[in-house]
A and B are shown apart, each in its own frame.
Chain A
Amino acid sequence: MPTDIYLNVAVSGVLTGLVYGLMALGLSVIFGVVRVVNFAHGEMTTVAMYLAVVLFATLGLDPLLMMLPIAGVLFVFGYAMQRWLINPFISRPEHSQFILLVAVAIILANGLLIVFGPDARSVQTSYAFDSFMIGPLIVDATKTFAGAAAIAVAAALFAFFRFTRLGTAIRACADNYTGAQVVGLNVPRLYALTFGLGAACVGAAGAMLALITDVTPPLGPSFTLLAFVIVIVGGLGSMPGALAGGILIGVVAAMAGLFYTPSAKGMFVFAILVLVLLFRPQGIFGRRA
């Protein structure tokens, strides 16, 4: 095989990985602050994908343009869910939170099944088969746009947490729950805001994923698992870690598909997860707790 193929597959893996990384970033932000593991993450992703599909099918709106409105819808959804559903569970044990979010996942997945049926849906844009030639590389146009958008959204979120007062307040909640309450921060509202922001990442990522893959209602758990793997490999709670983990997993999956067989790429992904959990449980970019 010529080297070109490896490079092409690697670049494609990086770009897809960035989008998955953005989805995982949502999980990381939510866990890092609210300390709740969002087991409905994949289902929220499929909801966002269906929103993109429907907007494209009925109004002809491009998912890349609809990325921000869909992120907005998911923000409201996430905010409301944290505010009224999850907040009473903050101090309850993990398994209790787990059942709650599994229930949410069941409702979302089957709600989608009722509305859209079991058939796979996708978005076919006019530029679906376009590509750029960069030297020996042939880069898929859709994936390039999606990868760039993922970086932009992640950068905006990073800037928000780093440089705004609200972002600083949220980080304070993450660092010290009691301390944040003592200095008068409205913790439940900030938690809801964080969950909303995490859900907004999912919304943006979902809109772009609709361009890359088909969507069916039962796809949720596999997205949830993928997000877990990425976040743990990158470091739970680390924002650059989520993107880096996404890239790593994207490249590994693409390479496994090339060298071995596409259906077995999940095995390599989970093997990496096990290795990271055992030898660097804080993740590649994480700090030790």
Chain B
Amino acid sequence: MIGRLVADVPRRAALALSVFFLVLLVVPWFANDYLLTVLILIFYFAYTGQAWNIMMGFVGQLSLGHAIYIGLGGYTAAVLFSYFGISPWLGSFAAMLLAVLCGAIIGFLAFRFRVAGVYFAILTIAFAEFARIGFDHFTYVGGSAGFFLPVSNYSQSDLWTLRGKPIMFYYLSLGMTVAAVILCHLMIGSRIGYFWQAIREDEEAARAVGIDTFRYKLLAVVISAAMTSLAGVFFAFYYNNLFPEEVFSINRSIELILAPIFGGLGTLFGPILGAFLLTGLAETLTAAWAALGVDVPGAKQVFYGICLLLVITVLPDGVWPWLYRRLGLAGRPE
């Protein structure tokens, strides 16, 4: 297992990754709470980007409704914790189960009825919107008035109930991102990973050589849904509140796909780089605007939109593949 994990990683890359990881491990000793929150946000996007990338980057299925898994995961674990006192670590299994079920239904319907491309994307939006309005009227979890987790001032962090200070969430999000990268690295180099890439490149041809495309596409949806639901659990316990208008909204689905596309679709490092660049850009803009004393709502977002537009025009494959070539690295960017 470990052998396969590092076998095809070039030595220089392994060294760079180790240094990068070590820096991230010791950052909390030097960083203030603000920087920590920004880094948590970056890891949240790096993690969800990794999860979404399995469907789009590996298998070529464009989902624009991943908010449904965030929402289902968040609500499941939050309800189990608040109403029944069940730890989020155990609640995560229920959350994943529900997300897997939901993903399986969406995937089954879509692939069984040959809903593909743009139509598939819109089907995923429809399910997320359906869930949003449904939860708005679901009074057991507070409906549109929202659901709140119990909070108090913590002197110590309790990892078992995930109640505590930013530093705990920092390490949690870092751990989740690293685990996701390792999982994706293992999957993409496995038999399943090659089946996925074959389907992405040419589904007809993949079917012709005997790949059960229905099963492997469904598998990708289910894995991606389960991983995304964990991000939802994290979201719920980190922010301590859930509003259907907020967690299930189309904006949530869009923001989590920006990092992988911006960074480089289908690569492992792309979503991470994308999360760093985009969140970094947004936070720098906030800081710059504050320093300049500009207080115009919307101005920051306009600038963010222009940056996004420029980069996608100049680097259509994303930043990481471009950077990879500039660094003079051989082979395909991973």
Contacts and interface: CB of A to CB of B under 8 A. Distances in A.
Contact of A271 (B122, B130, B144, B250): B130
Interface in A269-289: 270-271, 273-274, 277-279, 281
A217 to B, nearest CB: 7
A58 interface: no
Interface string A112-141: 111001100000000000000000000000
Interface in B93-135: 109, 113-115, 117-119, 121-123, 125-127, 129-130, 133-134
B226 interface: no
A89 B257 CA distance: 19
A110 B299 contact: yes
A79 interface: no
Contacts of B121: 94
Nearest to B299: A114
Interface residues on B, range: 35 or more
Interface string A237-268: 00000000000000000000000010110110
Interface stretch (A10-18, A98-106, A202-210): A98-106
A106 B301 contact: yes
B189 interface: no
B262 interface: yes
Contacts of A261: 137
B316 interface: yes
Interface in B174-209: none
Interface string B276-305: 000000000000000000001111011011
Tell me what chain A mostly uses at the interface: helix, strand, loop, or mixed.
Answer: helix
A225 interface: yes
Contact of A103 (B114, B119, B309): B309
Contacts of B251: 221
A281 B297 contact: no
B145 to A, nearest CB: 13
A278 B144 CA distance: 29
B309 A270 contact: no
A277 B119 contact: yes
Contacts of B304: 106
B308 interface: yes
A153 interface: no
A96 B302 contact: no
B121 to A, nearest CB: 8
B56 A95 contact: yes
B265 interface: yes
A152 interface: no
Contacts of B129: 225, 266, 270
Interface of B: 56, 62, 64, 109, 113-115, 117-119, 121-123, 125-127, 129-130, 133-134, 136-137, 144, 250-251, 254, 257-258, 261-262, 265, 296-299, 301-302, 304-306, 308-309, 312-313, 316
27 contacts: A85-B309, A88-B313, A89-B316, A94-B117, A94-B121, A95-B56, A99-B262, A99-B308, A103-B306, A105-B305, A109-B301, A110-B299, A110-B302, A113-B298, A114-B296, A221-B251, A263-B133, A263-B136, A264-B133, A264-B136, A270-B133, A274-B126, A277-B115, A277-B122, A278-B109, A279-B113, A281-B115
Given A106-B304, A107-B301, 18 more contacts: A92-B316, A94-B118, A95-B56, A100-B309, A100-B313, A102-B254, A103-B306, A105-B305, A106-B305, A109-B298, A111-B302, A118-B297, A225-B250, A263-B133, A264-B137, A267-B134, A270-B133, A277-B113
Interface of A: 37, 85, 88-89, 92, 94-96, 98-100, 102-107, 109-114, 117-118, 217, 221, 225, 228-229, 232, 261, 263-264, 266-267, 270-271, 273-274, 277-279, 281
What are the 4 closest A-B residue pairs judged by CB atoms, nearest first? A113-B298, A106-B305, A110-B298, A107-B305
